């Protein structure tokens, strides 16, 4: 099983590179942001709760997020592995993911850190907001999300280094070069 955590700040290219990874390796893809946006669109109770946090640039509480992830993971039958995109975002989520995979006799294969400078993230997210209409891609909310990333999510780099799974990827530049670096990192940990 190939379990890949694709990691990085908002706008670092996780979604774009995930598409290429799943095409090459035939794994399933979980984007927790996409799951939440689908719930909002369907106007479910979960969606209503999630919207409040997302519009404020804050994280959804860990316990809720971990339950959502577990349900999604259980929905995959005969899977070759999973790309985790946007999860984990906190230490508690990383602990929970490890426990969930261990219970299934698995582990995270590799954690890919896509590194992109802050000014470039800002430019990309503002552009995405204009093109896609994503309500949290506006300057004020982006600043909050980047602050949350630095405070709550970026400590996971050390967590995965300690777990022997971390691989650094320069996320700035040509998409094909970035993907080639990703493939090399996956192959080195497989």
Does 72 participate in catalysis according to the annotation?
Answer: no
Instruction: Kindly tell me which residue out of 4, 5, 27, 60 binds ligand AMP, with binding defined by CB under 6 A.
Output: 60
The question of whether 190 is a catalytic residue gets the answer no
Give the three-state DSSP class for 56.
coil
Residue 59 interacts with ligand AMP (CB under 6 A): yes or no: yes
33 binds ligand AMP (CB under 6 A): yes
> Which residue among the candidates 51, 98, 134, 161 is catalytic per the annotation?
134
Q: What is the spatial distance between Cα 69 and Cα 170, in angstroms, rounded to a whole number? A: 28
Q: Is 73 in the site for ligand AMP (CB under 6 A)?
A: no
Residues of this chain, 147-186, that bind ligand AMP according to CB under 6 A: none
Strands (E) in the chain, as ranges, are 2-7, 28-31, 81-85, 110-115, 166-170
3-class DSSP state for residue 55? helix
Smallest separation (angstroms) from ligand AMP to the CB of 10: 5
Residue with the shortest CB distance to ligand AMP: 33
CA separation for the pair 116, 93 (Å, rounded): 23
Q: For 82, phi and psi rounded to 5 degrees?
A: -140, 140
- Known active-site residue 145: yes
176: left (phi over 0), alpha (psi -120 to 50) or beta: alpha
Choose the binding region for ligand AMP from 19-27, 51-59, 95-103, 170-178 (rule: CB under 6 A): 51-59
Minimum separation from the CB atom of position 53 to ligand AMP (A):
5
Alpha carbon distances (Å) from 25 to 101, 153, 185:
19, 26, 13
Residues that bind ligand AMP (CB under 6 A): 10, 32-33, 36, 53-54, 58-60, 65, 86-87, 89, 93, 136, 145
Catalytic annotation, residues: 14, 89, 128, 134, 145
């Amino acid at each position: 099983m190939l379990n890949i955590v694709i990691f990085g700040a908002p706008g670092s290219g996780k979604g774009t590179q995930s598409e290429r990874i799943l095409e090459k390796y035939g794994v399933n893809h979980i984007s927790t942001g996409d799951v939440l946006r689908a719930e909002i669109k369907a106007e479910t109770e979960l969606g209503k709760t999630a919207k409040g946090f997302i519009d404020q640039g804050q994280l959804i509480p860990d316990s809720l997020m971990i339950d959502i992830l577990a349900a999604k993971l259980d929905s995959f039958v005969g899977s070759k592995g999973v790309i985790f995109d946007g999860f984990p975002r906190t230490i508690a989520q990383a602990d929970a993911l490890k426990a969930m995979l261990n219970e299934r006799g698995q582990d995270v294969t590799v954690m890919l850190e896509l590194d992109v400078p802050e000014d470039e993230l800002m430019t990309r997210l503002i552009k995405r907001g204009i093109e896609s209409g994503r309500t949290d891609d506006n300057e004020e909310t982006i600043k909050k999300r980047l602050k949350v990333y630095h405070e709550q999510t970026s400590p996971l780099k050390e967590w995965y280094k300690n777990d022997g799974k971390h691989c650094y990827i320069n996320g700035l530049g040509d998409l094909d070069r970035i993907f080639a670096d990703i493939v090399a990192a996956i192959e080195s940990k497989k």
